[in-house]
Amino acid sequence: MPGDRAGHLKACFDQPLEFSRYLAAVERLFVEARLTGSRRQEAVAAPVKALAAPAGDSAAR
């Protein structure tokens, strides 16, 4: 039981940490590719739409 709690607590901290690493990597890619304005919005919109689409909706993927 205590091991389960420790694993759950660790997962609660790991997920935001992993997400922040992902966001930092994306920002670095934007800077290196010199994407700004609408091109940057387009680059973000497609993956966000794919992630937000229902699992069975293959049109968004």
Neighbours of 44 (CB within 10 A): 13
Query: How confident is the prediction along the chain (61 residues), in pLDDT tens digits per residue?
Result: 567 888 877 777 777 878 788 788 888 888 888 888 888 888 888 777 887 887 776 555 4
- When divided into structural domains, the chain yields a total of 1
Domain that holds residue 46: 2-60
